[in-house]
């Protein structure tokens, strides 16, 4: 069964930019950057099972969770390496960065860029399905 899900995921995501359409993520985790360890550490706050519905286009994405609806414009930056995976990178209008990690089936959001060019927080939405 897992091989079937992986096949479907890669068939939808096997090119340079995310395919327009509806997606659902089932799980979310939040991390804070730790300077002394030079890594992101899991906060344990507000994470866990959470259905988030996403709609992606070439120019913006919308997300729907717990009765809230948000729309954000973004620009495709190219690719970036994240923990050994090549991800599509998008600069979001509010200064956040989105990485689409096809290898690990997740959306990675970075926020709060500091003067050292390090994002202070990271959120990972995972267990993604195309609707």
Could you state, in order of their start, the residue ranges of all structural domains in the chain? 2-130
DSSP H helices in 32-86: none
DSSP 8-66: HHHHHH-SSSPPSEEEEEEEEEEEEEETTTTEEEE--SS-EEEEEEEEE-SSEEEEEET
pLDDT at 45: 83
The answer on pLDDT for 2 being more than 90 is no
Q: What is the pLDDT of residue 52?
A: 95
Residue 11 Cα distances to 18, 20, 91, 124, angstroms: 11, 13, 24, 22
Q: What is the mean pLDDT of the chain?
A: 88
Residue 46, pLDDT score: 84
Distance (Å, rounded) from C-alpha 122 to C-alpha 20?
24
Q: Report pLDDT digits (tens) over 77-114.
A: 999 999 999 999 999 999 999 999 999 999 999 999 99
Q: Is the pLDDT of residue 115 over 70?
A: yes
pLDDT at 101: 96
What pLDDT digit, counting tens, does each position of 22-78 carry? Answer: 999 999 999 999 999 999 999 988 889 999 999 999 999 999 988 999 999 999 999
**pLDDT of res. 5:** 39
Alpha carbons 96 and 122: distance in angstroms, whole number: 10
């Amino acid at each position: 069964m897992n091989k079937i899900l992986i096949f479907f995921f890669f068939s939808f995501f096997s090119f340079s930019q995310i395919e327009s359409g509806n997606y659902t993520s089932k799980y979310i985790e939040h991390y804070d950057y730790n300077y002394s360890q030079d890594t992101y550490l899991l906060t344990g706050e507000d994470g866990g099972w959470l259905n988030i519905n996403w709609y992606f286009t070439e120019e913006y994405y919308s997300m729907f969770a717990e009765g809230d609806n948000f729309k954000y414009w973004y620009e495709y930056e190219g690719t970036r390496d994240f923990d050994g995976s090549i991800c599509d990178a998008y600069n979001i209008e509010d200064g956040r960065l989105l990485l689409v990690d096809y290898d690990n089936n997740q959306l990675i959001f970075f926020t709060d860029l500091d003067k050292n060019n390090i994002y202070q927080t990271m959120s990972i939405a995972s267990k993604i399905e195309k609707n």
